[in-house]
Chain A
Amino acid sequence: MSQQHESVDLVGDETVKYFTTAVLLAALTAALSQISIPIPGPLPPFSLQPFGMFFAGLLLGPLWGGVALLLYLLVGIAGVPVFSNGNAGLGYVVAGQGTGGFLVGFLVGAVVAGAIAHRSTEPRDLGDISVPVQVGALVAAVAVVYAIGVPWLSMVTGLPLVRAATVMAPYVPLDLVKLAVAVVIVEGGYLASR
């Protein structure tokens, strides 16, 4: 066994704080993905999963928010049943039932939401960011999720793009409800106090 004889290089306090928040938000995204209502048909289940993306983007900014969702995906790929309905594996993310694009979309969505809200890799205090900007960040995140998820679904299942979009259409109102709930949480100042 080789041994290292250098001095210990401690991780900075700020970095530890962002890192542990990213770790816990990854675990929260995984937990919220399990609280879902499966709907029959070639449709993804209705879940509280997007809240992981919303919180990661708003609380952690583009860099650490992205790390949180990346950790979520990596742990799922490693075999922990963290995707909805207890699924796991790289095969589920790439192909699965065609909904893998939404998982990747959550990662990109968190980065986009964080970039719009914080405009720097270092997260700012949410109390300093106006509510319309935060709401805009969440709307953009949802748009990004669909922009990646629908073409991905079409590519995996061989459905034409328009038909893939039709299949996903019933989910738009559900996601608008989730978006509205997230806006209420932002406006209520539940996040700014953290």
Chain B
Amino acid sequence: MLSYRPGSSLAHRLDPRSKLLVQFGLAVAAVAYPTLPGVVAATAVGLTALAAARLSPLAVLRSYRVVVAVLALAPLVAGVALGPPWFRVEPALRSALYVGRVLPILFVSAAYLVSTPVRETRAAVQRLVPGKPGQLLGVGMALVVRLFPLVLADVREVRDAIRARGGERRPVWVRARLLAVRSLSRTLDRSDRLSLALRARCFAWNPTLPALAFARRDYPVALLGVALALSPLARAFPL
């Protein structure tokens, strides 16, 4: 899977907020224009984003190969008919066009993943959501990132323990229940410990915030995001 790689490309130097805006804007624009020119334009934006992050489109397709393979089936499913002529081209083409606009969305998203460390996204969330909710979401994200591997190890351990006791001979619903209940109880124990640890360390509403700043290069990127997000309006109100 794609993940953050340290670097000095243009995408690395941009503020996470402007990059998030472009992702959001492109998703809105691509959904609003499921036409061939729309898909071509969106693909151009996607490839530009990849170039800005110095990421090869082939690497993205390779890492999303399962997603792409599943998507490729959609036009086939759309075209199949339950009587002669058994396969209709028109709905299949329509579906292919819809699926085609997913690729640029994945491209832009991959460029973001590779060029943005998690702590920057956390800082962006904390800045974009004002007040205490934003603060809790920011701290929460950091803690989930830290605790996810531990909880995953817990769940795998429970699964292995069930297997070691011959659990595979038991029906699926029994195994699912055991796995869910045991994993939950371990998770809630961790929650109790975390809650105690946070209170012992004076978990407060007003700690020092991480630094984030819009540079001059961020303004055109943020503007592009806003323009893309508002592009459906151009169709609603033609000049």
Chain A interfacial positions (CB closer than 8 Å to B): 3-4, 6, 8-11, 13, 16-17, 19-28, 30-32, 34-35, 38, 41-43, 48, 51, 55, 67, 70-72, 74-75, 77-82, 85-92, 94-98, 155-160, 163, 167, 177-178, 180-182, 184-185, 188, 190-191, 194
- B-chain residues with CB within 8 Å of residue A6 when the two chains form the complex: 206
A177 touches B71 (CB 8 A): no
Complex Cα spacing A15 to B52, Å: 42
The listed residue (A16, A48, A77, A157) touching B71 by CB distance below 8 A is A157
A30 touches B194 (CB 8 A): no
Complex Cα spacing A39 to B15, Å: 39
Number of cross-chain contacts by CB at 8 Å: 247
A159 touches B74 (CB 8 A): yes
Chain B interfacial positions (CB closer than 8 Å to A): 1-4, 20, 23-24, 27, 30-31, 34, 64, 66-67, 70-71, 73-75, 77-78, 91, 94-99, 101-102, 105-110, 112-113, 116, 118, 121-122, 125, 136-137, 140-141, 143-145, 147-148, 150-152, 154-156, 159, 172-173, 176-177, 179-181, 183-185, 187-188, 190-192, 194-195, 198-199, 202-206, 208
- B-chain residues with CB within 8 Å of residue A159 when the two chains form the complex: 74, 77-78, 95
A98 touches B190 (CB 8 A): no
The listed residue (A85, A98, A185) touching B74 by CB distance below 8 A is A98
A30 touches B144 (CB 8 A): yes
**Binding site of B, secondary structure by majority: helix, strand, loop or mixed?**
helix
Complex Cα spacing A56 to B172, Å: 23
Given A24-B147, A92-B67: A78 and B203 interface contact (C-beta under 8 Å): no
Complex Cα spacing A27 to B121, Å: 18
B148 touches A27 (CB 8 A): yes
**Binding site of A, secondary structure by majority: helix, strand, loop or mixed?**
helix
Chain A residue with the shortest CB-CB distance to B171: A177
| Known A31-B154, A78-B118, A92-B67; 4 more pairs at CB < 8 Å | A81-B1, A90-B27, A96-B106, A177-B173
Complex Cα spacing A96 to B105, Å: 8
Question: How far does the Cβ of A4 sit from chain B's closest Cβ, in whole Å?
Answer: 6
Complex Cα spacing A54 to B143, Å: 21
The listed residue (B77, B192, B199) touching A167 by CB distance below 8 A is B77
B194 touches A24 (CB 8 A): yes
B187 touches A24 (CB 8 A): yes
Q: A72, A98, A155 — which one has the most chain B CB atoms within 10 A of its CB?
A: A98
Chain B residue with the shortest CB-CB distance to A159: B78
Chain B residue with the shortest CB-CB distance to A46: B172
Chain A residue with the shortest CB-CB distance to B109: A91
- A-chain residues with CB within 8 Å of residue B99 when the two chains form the complex: 156-158
Given A79-B116, A91-B109, A184-B177: A26 and B183 interface contact (C-beta under 8 Å): no
Complex Cα spacing A190 to B181, Å: 7
B67 touches A80 (CB 8 A): no
B194 touches A87 (CB 8 A): no
Complex Cα spacing A2 to B156, Å: 45
